[in-house]
Amino acid sequence: MNAQTSESTQSEFVLECHSVGKTYGGLKAVSDVNIAARRGEILGIIGPNGAGKTTLFNIISGHVGSTTGTIVFNGADVTRKPAHTRARLGMGRTFQIVRPIRSLTVLENVMIGAFHAYPTREAAAQQALRVLERVELIDRAKSNAGDLTLAGRKRLEVARALAGNTQLLLLDEVMAGLNPSEANLAIAMIHRLSLTGVSVILIEHNLKVVNELAQNVVVLDHGAEISQGSPAEVLSDPAVITAYLGNRKVAK
């Protein structure tokens, strides 16, 4: 990755969103959201279906342009930078619907995520192997991606997102559809990644997962940020309870 200025590397925050909004026609999918993720922390983003969580990720990663606001990554304004530039600067993301290239091997899928930082085939393969170790998928490196279970495909998605010297990992519901023991393994994996210095922003429906992993949580509802704080603070916030009870039960 390119050297950052000493000023930017000293920023306390790996990511800042200032007054970020996205409008689709008349719909405010995301409205005036302000969040900041500290370097090395795990930040949870929760909210009912349609709250704007994935749209916020799309704005952060550069996959959709914001209607309003500013995105600052490692102290640098990246609002006008395309997704591939943000990836090269160290942002990696997973997609809610995992779409590995099923006819390629697990290793080859991860290499695709590595090429922008490791342009030769050999270097990309070495990096992909290192990342597969980190997500504990190394024993499936030569398998066809299409032969993985859902839990394996989710791990592969994390590996692809990590492959380019990623400093900030954006995880969109990587636990969805996993059984409790698979989810526990995924929680342990994310915790380990965080201990290696990767900052993580995690969209998650399972509040138990957020409670276990996140130091801070942002709650979205109808595109707006309705609460922020520690998991204990937000899960006892009456505004959050009302938002969830209007849509679904709060899982304790």
Ligand X SMILES: Nc1ncnc2c1ncn2[C@@H]1O[C@H](COP(=O)(O)OP(=O)(O)OP(=O)(O)O)[C@@H](O)[C@H]1O
Residues that bind ligand X (CB under 6 A): 24, 27, 29, 47, 49-55, 96
Residue 29 interacting entry, from ligand X, Mg ion, none, C-beta within 5 to 8 Å by type: ligand X
Window contacting Mg ion (CB under 5 A); options: 61-69, 78-86, 88-96, 236-244: 88-96
Tokens of 68: 């309003």
**Unique residue bearing structure tokens 């304790």:** 252
Provide, rounded to whole angstroms, the least separation between the CB of residue 170 and Mg ion: 12
Q: Could you tell me which residues come within 8 angstroms of residue 186 by beta carbon, excluding any fewer than 6 positions away?
A: 151, 154, 155, 174, 175, 178
Provide, rounded to whole angstroms, the least separation between the CB of residue 219 and Mg ion: 14
**Rounded Cα gap, residues 171 and 57, in angstroms:** 9
Provide, rounded to whole angstroms, the least separation between the CB of residue 235 and ligand X: 17
Provide, rounded to whole angstroms, the least separation between the CB of residue 172 and ligand X: 7
**Residue closer to Mg ion (CB basis): 54 or 199:** 54
**Exposure string (b/e) for 98-124, b if CB count within 10 Å is 16 or more?**
bebeeeebbbbbbbebbbebbeeeeeb
Residues numbered 25 to 64 that lie near Mg ion (CB under 5 A) are 53-54
Residue 52 interacting entry, from ligand X, Mg ion, none, C-beta within 5 to 8 Å by type: ligand X
Contact 188, 29 (CB under 8 A): no
Provide, rounded to whole angstroms, the least separation between the CB of residue 66 and ligand X: 13
Can you give the C-alpha Rg of the chain in angstroms?
18
**Residue closer to Mg ion (CB basis): 98 or 107:** 98
Contact 175, 206 (CB under 8 A): yes
Could you list the residues that contact Mg ion (CB under 5 A)?
A: 53-54, 96
